[in-house]
Every structure is written in C-alpha cells, then in structure tokens.
C-alpha cells in the first residue's frame, strides 16, 4: 500500500479522532473532550507563543510541528504521532522539550512508522526528547532509533486508595464471572476490605492527623492549613513558592508557573475542574498537590488521580498531609478510588507507606538529551518526574484503567 507522510495541521483534528476511534483508542462520546484537548495542545499552547517563550528565556526556536500523520491512498489518516512542546528548568536555565503523544499506526501501514517518527527526531530547536507514555508500537520505534529507555524502576508503580472497595471489586469481577455471582461477592469482599482499610488509615495517617475539610480549608495544626483552590485562584503566594522551589531543586523539572499550570491541567480529567491543595505554614506556601477527576463510564467508577505534587525540600510530613487532604476530598465527593503514580522516589516512598494497594502499569519512558550543555546521566538521575511531564496529564481519557 502506498502512503504519504506529512506534518499534521490543526485541521486534522476530526480525521485523527476518527482514526483513533477505528483503532479502539477512544470512544464516540469522548469526541468533544478529545477535540478540546487537541485545541489546548496545538492552538492554545503558550510555549508555541513568542511572548510566553521570551518571558521565560526559552533557549529553543519558536516554530515546531504539532505532529505527523500517515495518509493512505484514499487520503484517510492511517497513522499519527503528536508533538507537544513543553518548557523545563535545569540549573537555572529554561530548555525546550519535544514530547510525543498518541503514537498509533494502522497495522497494515506499520512500515511507514519509521518515516513518520523520523520527523520527530530531526526537528530543530529541541533540547530534550521525552516520551512518558510509550506503547508497544512507539516503544519499538524508539528502540530502533536507539533512544535511551529511562530506567523507570518503581516509576511505573501505581498506588491505590480504595474508597469504595465494593464498587471497585464489582468493576473488576463483572468481566470475570456472571452478574449474579459478581455483585454479592464484591459486596462481601468490599465490606471486609473497607473495614481493613479504615484500620490501616488510622495507623498510616494517625488518628489525630486524619484530615477533615471545613469550607474548603483543611486545618492540620496551629498556623498550618491546607486550602483547596482552583487553578485560576492561584495567586502571588504561589509565585513566591515556585521561584523558591525552582532555585532550590537541582533537578530537571517542568516549568510550573501559574500560566503553565493553568494551561497544562485545564482539561485534565473529565469530571469537573482539577483541584489544587495548597499547604501553608503562617501564610507561606510550602507545597501543593493537584488532583484531577475521571469517570470511567464502562466501569461506573469515579477515579481521582494525583497528577502533581511539589513541596519545598520534599518534606515527608507535607506530602503526607497533602495526600490526606486529597483522600478526604475524594471521599466527600463520592469517588471510588484515588490513584497516584509516576513520582520521584522521595514522594513515592511516602505514598507507598499510605496506599492500600499497588500494581505495575505497562508502558515505557524514553528520553534523549540533545543539548550539549546537559549531561544525559545527570538529567536522568535528577529528573523530577510526575504526570506533569510528557503527555501524561493531557490524555487522561486513555490513562490506565481498571
């Protein structure tokens, strides 16, 4: 079969969605959300704007492709690879990262995959290549291009807080046994698990530290509070926190200005706007956690996901209290579970001690450093990786499910 590989344009949105639909990657009812995210990524991305780039001292050039497509003989799209431009900070300088997203190819056109991804690797003005959600197809291509695979270790561990164990158990069992068995078994198992997790929470969080929300303010001690905000409500206290954090952390870290967070997580989740839990001591902000919400229609499961956590000095107690606040909010909103994954070791260690269960998720992480000012070994060792990296936060409708 003959095909043509070309750069994607913003007008390809509908055609790419239909292609994804034919490959079983999305559902028909997700069309509007998918198109909103396409616009967010490729038309509203502030890092494709000269003004936003100049404000942050961007190193790379301003013009980048939004992706590449494989066109079949009839003009239909038979393959797609998106390209998200993101800003990163390391050693006081700001660098340009090109991040893959949604790499999908129709099996009969797989021989054109290398030509399609070649465009990704020869684009100019990129300091770092990142793929945080590589699948079987894209992983094989990256291996062929000899892109280093990030040593994920426990980065791929998903941590679960089961808030409604009966619903979660039923979503799992109904695909594995008849309904008249699945429901009573799930109810019985859920009741036992709920009691066990209640006791475990009392030990893990500490009875005196079990958080309770009052008027969106979670008070945790004298002079200490956690305030739940929307992204648009972040203020100057956040600016001061971020400036201190970016200078304190000797790590490769996504540029987390207010503008960046509001754009990056604007369409994260499909069940209302994300929440930001801000931790304060004497009115000084010392950390935050961002939670998005996703309803899985096929399972009837409402899942809260912790997509980002950042604290000064990675203090264990602050991380613990932020997770506790998110957990409490998830309970009050009737969520079935809270899930956390893809965090640095210092954060994973705290979450792992609190979580009810864990499992490995599939997929690989790839990174190639192009800027000679950056050391591949140092960057990979010092990467502050969360769901804010790559495309992990954007396409939560295809995020790991039960």
Distance CA 17, CA 80 (A): 10
What are the structural domains of the chain? 4-147 (3.40.630.30), 157-361 (3.40.630.30)
Q: What is the pLDDT of residue 402?
A: 43
In this prediction, residue 213 has a pLDDT band, given cuts at 50, 70 and 90, of very low
- For residue 19, how far is the Cα from the chain centroid? 23
Token duo for residue 326: 């998110």
Q: Which of 229-238, 350-359, 386-395 has the lowest mean pLDDT?
A: 386-395
pLDDT tens digits for 178-191?
A: 777 888 898 999 89
What order of strands is seen across the sheet that includes strand 275-281? 217-221, 224-229, 275-281, 284-296, 301-311, 337-341, 157-162, 357-360
Distance CA 45, CA 12 (A): 17
105, 112, 52, 58: which is closest to 81 by C-alpha?
A: 105
In this prediction, residue 272 has a pLDDT band, given cuts at 50, 70 and 90, of confident
Q: What is the pLDDT of residue 353?
A: 94
The H-assigned helical ranges of 206-315 are 236-248, 258-264
pLDDT of 362 over the 80 cut: no
Distances (CA, A) of 200 to 169, 273, 336: 19, 30, 17
Radius of gyration of the chain (CA): 22
pLDDT tens digits for 64-117?
A: 899 999 999 889 999 999 999 999 999 888 899 999 998 999 999 999 999 999
Q: Mean pLDDT over residues 134-150, rounded?
A: 84
3-state SS class at 111: helix
7 close to 119: Cβ distance less than 8 angstroms: yes
Greater pLDDT, 150 or 224: 224
pLDDT of 310 over the 90 cut: yes
3-state SS class at 335: coil
In this prediction, residue 258 has a pLDDT band, given cuts at 50, 70 and 90, of very high
108 close to 348: Cβ distance less than 8 angstroms: no
CB atoms within 10 A of CB 11: 7
- The mean predicted confidence, pLDDT, of the chain is 85
pLDDT of 218 over the 60 cut: no
Torsion of CA 143, 146, 148, 154, to 10 degrees: 10
Q: Mean pLDDT over residues 242-271, rounded?
A: 89
Greater pLDDT, 287 or 362: 287
Q: What is the pLDDT of residue 152?
A: 60
Distance CA 398, CA 20 (A): 11
């Amino acid at each position: 079969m003959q095909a043509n590989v070309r750069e994607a344009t913003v007008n390809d949105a509908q055609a790419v969605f239909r292609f994804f639909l034919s490959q079983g990657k999305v559902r028909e009812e997700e069309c509007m959300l998918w198109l909103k995210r396409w616009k967010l990524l490729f038309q509203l991305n502030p890092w494709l704007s000269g003004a936003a780039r100049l404000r942050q001292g961007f190193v790379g050039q301003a013009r980048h492709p939004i992706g590449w497509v494989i066109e079949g003989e009839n003009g239909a799209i038979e393959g797609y690879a998106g390209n998200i431009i993101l800003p990163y900070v390391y050693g006081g300088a700001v660098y340009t990262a090109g991040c893959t997203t949604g790499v999908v190819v129709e099996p009969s056109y797989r021989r054109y995959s290398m030509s399609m991804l070649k465009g990704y690797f020869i684009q100019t003005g990129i300091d770092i290549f990142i793929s945080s959600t590589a699948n079987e197809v894209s992983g094989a291509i990256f291996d062929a291009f000899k892109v280093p695979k990030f040593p994920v270790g426990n980065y791929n561990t998903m941590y679960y807080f089961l808030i409604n164990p009966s619903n979660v158990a039923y979503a799992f069992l109904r695909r594995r046994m008849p309904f008249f068995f699945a429901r009573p078994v799930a109810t019985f198992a859920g009741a036992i698990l709920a009691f066990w997790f209640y006791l475990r929470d009392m030990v893990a969080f500490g009875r005196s530290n079990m958080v309770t929300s009052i008027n969106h303010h979670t008070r945790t001690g004298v002079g200490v509070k956690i305030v739940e905000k929307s992204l648009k409500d972040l203020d100057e206290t956040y600016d001061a926190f971020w400036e201190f954090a970016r200078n304190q952390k000797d790590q490769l870290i996504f540029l987390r200005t207010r503008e960046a967070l509001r754009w990056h997580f604007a369409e994260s989740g499909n069940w209302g706007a994300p929440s930001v839990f801000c931790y304060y001591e004497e009115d000084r902000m010392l950390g935050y956690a961002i939670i998005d919400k996703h309803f899985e229609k096929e399972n009837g499961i409402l899942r809260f996901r912790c997509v980002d956590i950042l604290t000064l000095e990675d203090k264990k107690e602050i991380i613990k209290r932020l997770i506790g606040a998110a957990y409490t909010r998830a309970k009050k909103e009737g969520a079935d579970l809270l899930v956390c994954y893809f965090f640095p070791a210092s954060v994973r260690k705290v979450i792992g001690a609190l979580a009810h269960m864990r499992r490995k998720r599939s997929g690989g992480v790839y990174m190639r450093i192009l800027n000679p000012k950056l050391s591949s070994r140092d960057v990979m060792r010092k990467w502050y990786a969360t769901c804010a990296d790559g495309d992990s936060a954007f396409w939560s409708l295809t995020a790991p499910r039960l």
